[in-house]
Chains A and B, each alone.
Chain A
Amino acid sequence: MNLVTVSGPPSVGKTSVILKTISSLKNRGLKVGVVKFDCLFTDDDVLYEKAGVMVQKGLSGGLCPDHYFVSNIEEVTQWGLENKFDILISESAGLCNRCSPYIKGIKAVCVIDNLSGIGTPKKIGPMLKSADIVIITKGDIVSQAEREVFASRVHSVNPAATILHVNGLTGQGSFELSTLLFDKNENITTLKGKTLRFSMPAALCSYCLGETRIGESYQMGNVRKIDLGKKEI
């Protein structure tokens, strides 16, 4: 089984892109399963089920979603193997724009959209910079020039990636994406021993442990203060 991790900021069209791509994969006779990671709520699993795709969902709730992802991805992989998928796709939202729950040796796809502004590629961390494939969506509603500028910005922060334009509504480009996802030489049986491509942000402070009160005396652990540029008089 191949594992592919797909991530990207909320509402860029990850689910639509994956659904359209799955239909191309199915046409090739491949069996595909999906695991959807989210924070508080998702009904994307219903969309997958409607499309006849086996799906699991994991909600991280009060935990950091990416920490939750990495703590569960091996179990999910085993679920995929039990169900004899050819490809298991994990879908997760990158919420802090820094994280990349990408794993070394596992294909990583980042989805971003043309509407997010040309400064965006610069703002997104390893999620974009260390992806193998970058999918740019919503190209049908912005001008050709903006598409070109956006793609060149993406290229400048991640020159190694294959950049594709996919329209999540019509599916234009999803067939092309599907040809890049499956490789019979990339079959895995476990993720044990593999490592993340990049470490996750550290956070362990009183608020992680349930503190709700505001004020310096309640803040303990890994706390950092904003630099407001106050100069001493």
Chain B
Amino acid sequence: MAVLTELDLRHEKINTILTRYPFAETFLTNNGIDVANSRDNSMDDYFKSLDAEHIEDHAIDPEHLLNQFDQFINQMLSFLGEDSKVVESITILPGHDKSGKTENFTEFIIRKNEIVSIVGPTGSGKSRLLGDIEWAAQKDTPTGRSILINEKIPDKKWRYSSSEKLVAQLSQNMNFVMDMSVFEFLELHAESRMVTDSKTIIKRIIEEANNLAGEMFDPDTPITALSGGQSRALMIADTAILSKSPIILIDEIENAGIDRKRALKLLLSEEKIVLIATHDPVLALMGNRRIVIKNGGIIKVIETTEEEKEILTEIEKLDRKVNVMREKLRNGEKLTS
């Protein structure tokens, strides 16, 4: 076993290990190792105290487990110790489309606090573009594109780390499937992100989600009982505030029951890069620029013009009008006075 950790995990008292690395308890619990009565002993003693039948039944392999324990502690240490360098920008360098034609741009830089829309028919290659960004492609994907982060060749960790992914996704098809309350759910998410001040953060997420949704919900509501709008609002607020991913991809967010403009503002206020794959004019025009994809390649980048922004204002007015009507219908009122 390669001992990288400062402590000798095999011979040190379990109590000492857990005091030094409180997060180590998660590892033991999730691996079904109950050390409640052996805290003054070492892992080695613990394994020796197990009878052969227990080891067989629980499929425990002491050597493998110690090795994994060591890796877990080291990964957590480097994760916690990281001064989480901010992603200031991502750069897309051109590759080629499905027929091998070089893409028609020299470089495309997206900075944090920016919204960029992605448009193009189904199957045109939007997912592949996202895939390239998420995998931090280095001419080693089918499109031959390269991705730079902060204008440098990215660290390999973006590919393989389970805790740090470049892209977080929000889409219309996503649902909550866990059977727990809003509070418990957020607590669980905060715990997995090793957040220290979880109470304050959870409170903030619920507040923001309620602002976005219009219809209020309280922390004890089961997440599966939330309405479509409330779920979406909670997903957005949670992703904005708790997710570590610097890039958020929004894949069509329906208008119903959620203030989309406010949602985007929230994401931007958390210093995210926002990509929106949509053909809804309200969403698409919120981006400063839009990438047009065809046949697997980026064919052009369009800057949102002043005239277009004016159109946006008009559509937004319409949008609000429809929303007022929707509210009226919900409350059992008539649309005509």
Binding site for B on A (CB under 8 A): 24, 27, 98, 114-115, 117-118, 121-122, 125-126, 129-130, 139-146, 148-149, 151-160, 162-163, 170, 172-173, 175-176, 179, 198-199, 201-202
Say yes or no for B188: interface residue by CB 8 A criterion: yes
Contact of B27 among A98, A148, A156 (CB under 8 A): A156
Interface size, chain B (Cβ < 8 Å): 48
Known pairs A118-B188, A172-B131 / 18 extra A-B pairs, C-beta < 8 Å: A122-B31, A125-B58, A125-B59, A141-B174, A142-B175, A143-B231, A144-B235, A144-B239, A152-B162, A155-B72, A155-B75, A155-B163, A156-B72, A172-B130, A175-B141, A198-B61, A199-B56, A202-B56
Q: Provide the residues of chain A in CB contact with B56, threshold 8 Å.
A: 199, 201-202
Q: Provide the residues of chain A in CB contact with B72, threshold 8 Å.
A: 155-156, 159
Say yes or no for B193: interface residue by CB 8 A criterion: yes
Count chain A CB atoms within 10 A of each CB in B142, B162, B163, B171 and give the residue with the most.
B162
CB closest chain-A residue, reference B173: A141
Count chain B CB atoms within 10 A of each CB in A122, A158, A173, A199 and give the residue with the most.
A158
CB closest chain-B residue, reference A161: B162
Binding site for A on B (CB under 8 A): 26-27, 30-32, 56, 58-59, 61, 64, 67-68, 71-72, 75, 127, 130-131, 135, 140-142, 159-160, 162-163, 168-171, 173-178, 185-186, 188-189, 192-193, 231, 235, 238-239, 242-243
Contact of A149 among B160, B174, B192 (CB under 8 A): B192
Q: Provide the residues of chain A in CB contact with B231, threshold 8 Å.
A: 143
Query: Judging by beta carbons under 8 Å apart, are B71 and A146 in contact?
Result: no
CB closest chain-B residue, reference A162: B160
Contact of B64 among A27, A98, A122, A130 (CB under 8 A): A130
- A172/B174 contact (C-beta < 8 A), A158-B68, A159-B68 known: no
CB closest chain-A residue, reference B249: A144
- 21 A–B contacts from the bound complex (CB under 8 Å): A114-B177, A117-B177, A125-B59, A129-B59, A140-B171, A143-B231, A144-B239, A144-B243, A146-B176, A148-B189, A149-B188, A149-B189, A149-B192, A151-B162, A156-B27, A163-B160, A170-B127, A175-B135, A176-B131, A198-B61, A202-B56
